[in-house]
Structure 1
Amino acid sequence: MSANPKRRIETDVMKMMMSDLEVSLVNDNMQEFYVRFYGPPETPFAGGVWKIHVELPDQYPFKSPSIGFMNKIFHPNIDELSGSVCLDVINQTWSPMFDMMNIFETFLPQLLRYPNPNDPLNGEAAALLMRHPKEYDAKVKEYVQRFATKEAADNAAGGEEEEPDAEMSDIGSISGDEMEA
């Protein structure tokens, strides 16, 4: 029997939705969704809430998913601006034996627990972790308080709310008199 990637995508996403994970599909598409991810206890990330964007390629599970943090996180292996994650098990050594639950229950918690400053996407975080671990922990906790609240995760850019408000205020500033002049 040949493998059916669509069925595997549905199985993995349904397994996540039936778990304790909070999953929200983008346009009812099982290949693109957001997952609410909580910082592991006993780490400086504890108490943090992140919105993780996930895209599953058509070749999933034979090709790895694309994972990105939507709200800011200070970590050597996560790009602060794009939210991209540098993790071998996702980027290089992905196997069809893994599923999405592995990423959220094992891989990402392990990444936050055991950062690898020798393979950084965020050089500042890596240098701080290696030279001043206590300052690194303090900066991680500051980021958690500033950027990893439930509200920050809810409002993390998915292109939803910010733009229309800005456009409305610009349109509202043009008065009828200016239009005729």
Structure 2
Amino acid sequence: MGENISPETVSSIMRQLKDLMQTPAEGIRVRVNEENVTDVVAELDGPADTPFEGGLFKMRLALPADYPNSPPKGFFTTKIFHPNIRQPSGEICVNTLKRDWQPTHGLRHILMVIRCLLIEPFPESALNEEAGKLLLEDYDEYFRRAKMYTSIHAKPETAKSETAGMSAPSEKKVNKKKSLRRL
């Protein structure tokens, strides 16, 4: 955990992660990075009736040392064509992580807002100007392009292989047992 983070903050983050793993929000799964709890990895299912439907999108939240007093930074690590996601960095622009930040926003709320951004983009605050312009001027072309990116970059089997090293502790044990059986 490179930065100095208080034990209380670590406990709070761990409680929130445990809650998200035991009672996942719809279409959202978190993975624990046991080496660094301030690096939260999540998988988002592409919402129905969007160009992202059927996709599995990997993203991460980088929690600052003074979290929750300061907002995390959000990044999609799966390539996506979306007005509010900068390419190639994957940086996410959503007001919840900027001017509307409240220390009471927990990880569940943040992840749900980011998934909702896939349903309702905000082209007025575009980080990807091309996607924002297409969304406003030629929705059919925007939809086609976003769907194409989803079919290429967010295939469930591709996205799952990217998360191989990030798993819940119990899943690691199961995976190790399966690996040993194969030998």
TM-score by length of 1: 0.78
1:33, distance to aligned residue in structure 2 (A)? 2.8
Across the two proteins, how many residue pairs are aligned to each other?
157
Task: Select the residue among 131, 137, 158 that pairs with 2:137.
Answer: 131
Give me the whole-angstrom Cα distance separating, in 2, the residues matched to 1:61 and 1:158.
Answer: 28
Q: Does 1:48 align with 2:52?
A: no
Q: Does 1:109 align with 2:115?
A: yes
Task: Select the residue among 60, 73, 82 that pairs with 2:67.
Answer: 60
Larger radius of gyration: 1
Deviating 4+ runs (over 4 angstroms): 155-160
Q: Which residue of 2 aligns with 1:141?
A: 147
Give the AA of the match of 1:15.
Answer: D
Give me the whole-angstrom Cα distance separating, in 2, the residues matched to 1:114 and 1:157.
Answer: 26
- Amino-acid identity (%): 31
Contact 2:31/2:40 (8 A) holds in 1: yes
1:99, distance to aligned residue in structure 2 (A)? 0.6
Secondary structure in structure 1 of the residue aligned to 2:115? helix
Contact 1:40/1:46 (8 A) holds in 2: yes
TM-score by length of 2: 0.77
Q: Does 1:17 align with 2:13?
A: no
Task: Select the residue among 141, 152, 160 that pairs with 1:154.
Answer: 160
Gaps of 5+ in 1: 161-181
Change (3 A) 1:143 1:112: same
Give me the whole-angstrom Cα distance separating, in 1, the residues matched to 2:158 and 2:99.
Answer: 31
Give me the whole-angstrom Cα distance separating, in 2, the residues matched to 1:81 and 1:159.
Answer: 22
Structural RMSD (CA) = 2.3
Deviations, residues 141-180 of structure 1 (Å, cap 9, x unaligned)? 11110011113323449999xxxxxxxxxxxxxxxxxxxx
Contact 1:71/1:156 (8 A) holds in 2: no
